[in-house]
């Protein structure tokens, strides 16, 4: 018997995401309408709406839907804003952001993941997302600063280079700390050097490649 993805999508929103205090109508609308199953590897397609991380290769995984929902709500993207996504992955968050923002730039370390994501976005008719292959921690640079940044892998602490890519008045979602108790944070850039950090919730997210803390030197 074939799976009713439309019902599963509705149940995900009503039984997982909304109860986790995601109440923003625009965010819920995007998650209700975008076919997440089309961004999941075929072997895991029936798990597209389960409350789990889904492997996508290279030891990477799609976030749990509840984390995606909280992240999208926290950054509160305005339709006139531009977004930088660090870690394209499957392209699902890219697609969500494209529905909320004016333009999305997304960078992915693994070329095959970026290529697959680009194909999925094209199949959805999404034309306001620009994908790049590069290492955000190893020399890749966006052409300009953005209004919103979302980091889809965790870091021990927020890299200074990421801060420089955010416009004054902008917001950044980033998970910091060490497994198994990490903090999902919303950083707001109030001015050239003034920042506000809000801890949103505890979670445990795979490291952004290259973001491992160096071992402590022992004398």
pLDDT in tens, the chain (219 residues): 578 999 999 999 999 999 999 999 999 999 999 999 999 999 999 999 999 999 999 999 999 999 999 999 999 999 999 999 999 999 999 999 999 999 999 999 999 999 999 999 999 999 999 999 999 999 999 999 999 999 999 999 999 999 999 999 999 999 999 999 999 999 999 998 999 999 999 999 999 998 875 545 454
* Encoded tokens for 14: 């009503």
CATH number for the domain harbouring residue 47: 3.40.50.150
| pTM across the whole model | 0.94
In a domain, 219, yes or no: no
CA 77 → CA 80, 96, 159, 175, 217, distances in Å? 8, 11, 22, 18, 42
CB distance 104 to 98 below 8 Å: yes
In a domain, 177, yes or no: yes
In a domain, 210, yes or no: no
In a domain, 10, yes or no: yes
| Domain ranges, residue 123 | 5-203
Please tell me the predicted confidence (pLDDT) of residue 212. 76
Q: Which of 209, 100, 80 is nearest to 152 (CA)?
A: 209
Please tell me the predicted confidence (pLDDT) of residue 217. 45
- Quick count: other Cβ atoms within 10 Å of Cβ 164? 11
Please tell me the predicted confidence (pLDDT) of residue 214. 52
Total number of domains constituting the chain: 1
Beta bridge partners of residue 178, listed in sequence order: 181
Please tell me the predicted confidence (pLDDT) of residue 70. 98
- Quick count: other Cβ atoms within 10 Å of Cβ 14? 12
């Amino acid at each position: 018997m074939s799976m009713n993805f439309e019902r599963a999508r509705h149940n995900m929103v009503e039984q997982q995401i909304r109860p986790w205090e995601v109440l923003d109508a625009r965010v819920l609308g995007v998650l209700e309408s975008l076919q997440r199953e089309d961004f999941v590897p075929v072997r895991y397609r029936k798990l597209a709406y389960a409350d789990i991380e889904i492997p996508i290769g290279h030891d990477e995984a799609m976030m749990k839907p509840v984390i995606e929902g909280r992240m999208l709500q926290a950054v509160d993207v305005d339709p006139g804003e531009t977004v930088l996504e660090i870690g394209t992955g499957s392209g699902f968050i890219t697609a969500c952001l494209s529905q909320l923002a004016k333009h999305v730039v997304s960078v992915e370390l693994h070329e095959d993941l970026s290529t697959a994501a680009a194909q999925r976005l094209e199949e959805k008719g999404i034309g306001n997302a620009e994908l790049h292959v590069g290492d955000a921690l190893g020399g890749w640079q966006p052409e300009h600063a953005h209004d919103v940044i979302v980091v889809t892998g965790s870091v021990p602490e927020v890299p200074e280079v990421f801060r420089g890519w955010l416009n004054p008045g902008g917001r950044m979602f980033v998970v910091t700390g060490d497994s198994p108790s990490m903090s999902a944070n919303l950083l707001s850039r109030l001015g050239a050097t003034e920042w506000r950090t809000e801890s949103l919730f505890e979670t445990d997210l795979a490291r952004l490649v290259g973001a491992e803390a160096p071992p402590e030197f022992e004398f």
